[in-house]
Chain A
């Protein structure tokens, strides 16, 4: 469709641009004249000057570009095709094409105006033939011919990449020619790099062919030549091309790994002499290499069955080639490096070790610094977490620990084993470069800081690390439960379990929020601590016991669940935590067993509204927006600069954001955690309903005990029974109380959400009653159904009979009509006969005979008909009799009906009147 409009569109647009037919046509005719001189000119000199003029006018005016687009392509392509020997003409033609495809920035028209340069690229790229012609020009000896040709191809690719990618694939050796340009003079090489970058974007087959043609060798040799990470924009272009070739392309990834290896790539990360200075270009270069490493770690496309194996091998080989050392240098030791680089390096470390046992070992055995000031790399990363002022950097470093602890029981245990409280550490600041401080002491120290310094944020970062260490590791959970902290002031005496301290921070965070009014930080502090507690208590009765050891904890949690001023997720996680107190409660102590908790839950919160908290959380932004893999934006020339400057813009507008958008939250609520919460939720629901529907019976009914014991006096027996009855009475009272609570709960929710009906009928007796009622209801409704069916059956029968009666009536009526008619005819005939007899005997002697004959015939006929009628009537009569009796059965007034029928015979016109 568009194709057809285009050319005709030009003329219209030409007029539109200038709003003046004359000037438009003057541009048109000027271009037309020039084109005519080029194609029909005889003197070579004149044709060349026409070409120069054409180029000049096309380079300067929108209208000329449009005019050229409408008429010029065949002429120019003709020159390129047939006049290869005239280098000057070919150059001129190519330069004219370049101009025709280049937007004129200085012309400022309305936005929706047609861009002539865009239209021209569209027109030119339509012809596969012209692309193959252009590719063939790349083999010409003249530098400018190759240079302009590359520029034209790049312009075409920028505007219609898909079409050009397809066209180039169909041209034999098309890509080979382009690849040869990489070995050309510098200017051409750089131009070719750009072109290949566009060409390989999201075109897997082209990516493979380019690699087949030796792209990797060429790219790395150019990077080396240009100075590696210190190099200029050419290095950036090389890396962008490299990334295009490796993105989701396992075939190319394997080839790089198996042929050149990852060494040339990793060596770009090696910082040289002037390492301290990070220009923006260098930042972009290093970020691009980190992106390459990322792409290798993500393997091929989703559909590739060998994807996981390839990913794993890539990770193994990367670490074998010492990439961890370079990444640690960049991410941990180079505090002068830009935040963006440090964060990207940390994220790479995390991804390298995630679920890769060998690499986990490698990272845990790494030490940083110089003798004797060496410390384990993990300690240094923890230091970053605790100390950085950048939220991005915290998230990146936290990601390292998350990956380190994922499915790594030994690693978690190793980290947890150093968690030993050291009272003396209070006296000095351990964050001074004390490399002798153990991982655990550092973590614990920060965890205890929250109270004295009010630095809850640092505390919450430490809590996040702690939650990774505890995740799915029973041994660590139980071990850390035992940790007791010395009270900040010795005079206050009692030691406090670490877990209690965390709960206290949770409460502190909400009071902090109340104080300063802005909820951003406090909100996420609460969530992080809640996440820690939820992780901790999961499947761990010891932790549950410890948590419930302090009565106010439960009270606080119950308040938090129904606190309208905290976020949906805070309430939801608090609800999960409460659920864990029930689910993993192995306590026999009646003060804090599962039953007691469920009881107070139903009294203070209400079961329905409690379960509602889960649903609300599931629906919240954090849960619904979870993606299993973060979408990566590829680094390109256009966005590289902004990517390099992420510094900490996010934090500046933090206060404007809602709690839910806090950057850390999306990394905290990852797919793992969300699915963990979801599975936990199902268990909690089931468990709570179960606990609630089996109230602990205080009175054990043992029939034998109700009997009078031998040797027991009547009086004592009565007394004993009385006591028993009293006990039962009080229990019944309690159950009635619970019933009331439930009823209230039910009323409050107003029957919304029928899904939860089953959960509400929790009490055993209520359940039973509901069951009976339901059965009754079912029975009643069944009976009702049956009666209804019977009713309709009878109704339909009666209507059938009514119809029959009506039909009969009309039959009778038509019969009587017929009879009347016959009589009338007969009468007429007789009259005629009479008339004929009286007046016609003289006319003809024959008439008498004919008359007699006719009469005889008519009489015969009427006799037959009469007979038929009589038979019919007899039949009808018996039918009517039968129907009457049936109608009588059905309670119809037969007489009345038949009365009407009788009248009908006599007065056929009146039948409508009698009917009701």
Chain B
């Protein structure tokens, strides 16, 4: 259970873009083709390793529906990272990114690291948003960008870890006052450098989260 740092993440984006599935793939390494609509917010956790340091990720998967916006906004401020997800086969989910970003900028702390994810890249034949467009949007707004697939697990691991690595680098650069927990970062008590990736989170909670 010991970790060097704990990062809080949120996953945001339109309903049906695959937020819950991304989380399930990341924590449980499985894909659920039919997933219940998320009500409010669901929690998941996993341990990863960055720079040989065990880092605990606490991830809050939010409901994409408009009616839950006021609830999900409560989670912005205390998060260190956000995965902003759209569906490459549905153009409108890409078009809504600006309003999601605006929400995040308004309610989150300024140093929150945002990763833009174009999900469902396994469905290339139904693609409605090109990779270049995604890259362009990310560049314009200073986001990290990746296309991923919760179904094939392509880039899922990478997306979560790259976000963590960015946050980690910001800590090293002294961007955060890590003693202030409102940034979504907590310093662990027993972080033992050198332990290879702890996976306790994923194994002991099989099926428990993300449901």
Question: Which residues from chain A sit less than 8 Å from chain B, CB to CB?
Answer: 169-170, 172-176, 204-205, 208-209, 212-214, 250-252, 254-255, 257-259, 261, 304-306, 309-310, 313, 316-317
Contact = CB atoms under 8 A, between A and B. Distances in A.
A853 B73 CA distance: 107
A532 to B, nearest CB: 39
B71 A304 contact: no
Contacts of A257: 204-205
Contacts of B1: 261
A376 B36 CA distance: 47
A769 B47 CA distance: 79
B73 to A, nearest CB: 6
B40 A176 contact: no
Contact of A304 (B45, B200, B205, B211): B211
B45 A258 contact: yes
Contacts, number: 86
A172 B45 contact: no
B82 to A, nearest CB: 14
A261 B182 CA distance: 22
Interface in B195-211: 200-201, 204-211
B187 interface: no
A212 B78 contact: yes
A209 B208 contact: no
Contact of A309 (B8, B107, B208): B208
B204 A313 contact: yes
Contacts of A250: 208-209, 211
B211 A305 contact: yes
Given A208-B43, A212-B60, A176 B211 contact: no
B19 interface: no
Given A208-B41, A306-B208, A313-B205, 10 more contacts: A169-B70, A170-B70, A205-B41, A208-B43, A209-B41, A254-B45, A255-B58, A257-B205, A258-B45, A306-B211
Contacts of B200: 258
B204 to A, nearest CB: 6
B77 interface: yes
A258 B60 contact: no
Interface residues of B, number: 33
Contacts of A258: 45, 200-201, 204-205
A172 B107 CA distance: 8
Interface string B39-72: 0111111000000000010101000000000110
B210 to A, nearest CB: 8
A259 B56 contact: yes
A313 B211 contact: no
22 contacts: A172-B107, A173-B107, A174-B74, A176-B74, A176-B78, A205-B41, A208-B40, A208-B41, A209-B71, A212-B78, A250-B209, A254-B43, A255-B43, A258-B45, A258-B201, A259-B6, A259-B58, A306-B208, A306-B210, A310-B208, A313-B204, A317-B204
B145 interface: no
A259 B205 CA distance: 12
B208 A313 contact: yes
A857 to B, nearest CB: 90
A93 B43 CA distance: 41
Contacts of B43: 208, 251-252, 254-255
Contact of A205 (B45, B71, B182, B207): B71
Contacts of A261: 1
A452 B124 CA distance: 85
A214 B184 CA distance: 10
A175 B205 contact: no
Smallest CB-CB A-B distances: 5 pairs: A306-B211, A309-B207, A258-B45, A310-B208, A251-B43
A251 B42 contact: yes
Contacts of B208: 250, 254, 306, 309-310, 313
B181 interface: yes
B45 A209 contact: no
Nearest to A263: B1
Given A306-B209, A313-B205, A213 B78 contact: yes
B86 interface: no
Chain B interface, DSSP helix/strand/loop, else mixed? mixed
Contacts of B74: 169, 172-176, 209, 212
A250 B181 CA distance: 24
A261 B45 CA distance: 12
A243 B210 CA distance: 22
A259 B56 CA distance: 8
Nearest to B106: A172
A176 B209 contact: no
A257 B204 CA distance: 9
Interface string B125-142: 000000000000000000
A181 B167 CA distance: 28
Contacts of A212: 8, 41, 60, 74-75, 78
A146 B78 CA distance: 23
B36 A305 contact: yes
Interface in B1-30: 1, 6, 8
A251 B163 CA distance: 23
B67 to A, nearest CB: 12
Contacts of B207: 306, 309-310
A173 B77 contact: yes
A174 B74 CA distance: 8
A172 B72 CA distance: 10
Given A169-B70, A170-B70, A176-B78, A254 B40 contact: no
Of the listed residues A175, A250, A251, A316, the one surrounded by the most CB atoms of chain B closer than 10 A to its CB is: A251
A313 B203 CA distance: 10
A169 B71 contact: yes
A174 B71 CA distance: 11
Of the listed residues B44, B75, B210, B211, the one surrounded by the most CB atoms of chain A closer than 10 A to its CB is: B211
Of the listed residues B8, B43, B60, B205, the one surrounded by the most CB atoms of chain A closer than 10 A to its CB is: B43
A380 B162 CA distance: 56
Contacts of A317: 204
A306 B43 CA distance: 13
Contacts of A172: 73-74, 107
A605 to B, nearest CB: 53
A827 B10 CA distance: 112
Given A169-B74, A258-B45, A204 B209 contact: no
Contacts of A251: 41-43, 209
A252 B208 CA distance: 11
A892 B71 CA distance: 89
Contacts of A176: 74, 77-78, 182
B45 A259 contact: yes
B24 to A, nearest CB: 11
Contacts of A173: 74, 77, 107
A295 to B, nearest CB: 15
Contacts of B211: 250, 304-306
A214 B181 contact: yes
A205 to B, nearest CB: 5
Of the listed residues B74, B200, B205, B207, the one surrounded by the most CB atoms of chain A closer than 10 A to its CB is: B74
A177 to B, nearest CB: 11
B205 A254 contact: yes
A455 to B, nearest CB: 48
A214 B107 CA distance: 18
A561 B56 CA distance: 66
A502 B183 CA distance: 69
A170 B75 CA distance: 12
Of the listed residues A209, A212, A261, A313, the one surrounded by the most CB atoms of chain B closer than 10 A to its CB is: A212
Interface string B180-192: 0110000000000
Contacts of B70: 169-170
A259 B206 CA distance: 15
Contacts of B107: 172-173
A213 B58 CA distance: 12
Contacts of B40: 204-205, 208
A757 B24 CA distance: 59
Contacts of A170: 70
A174 B73 CA distance: 11
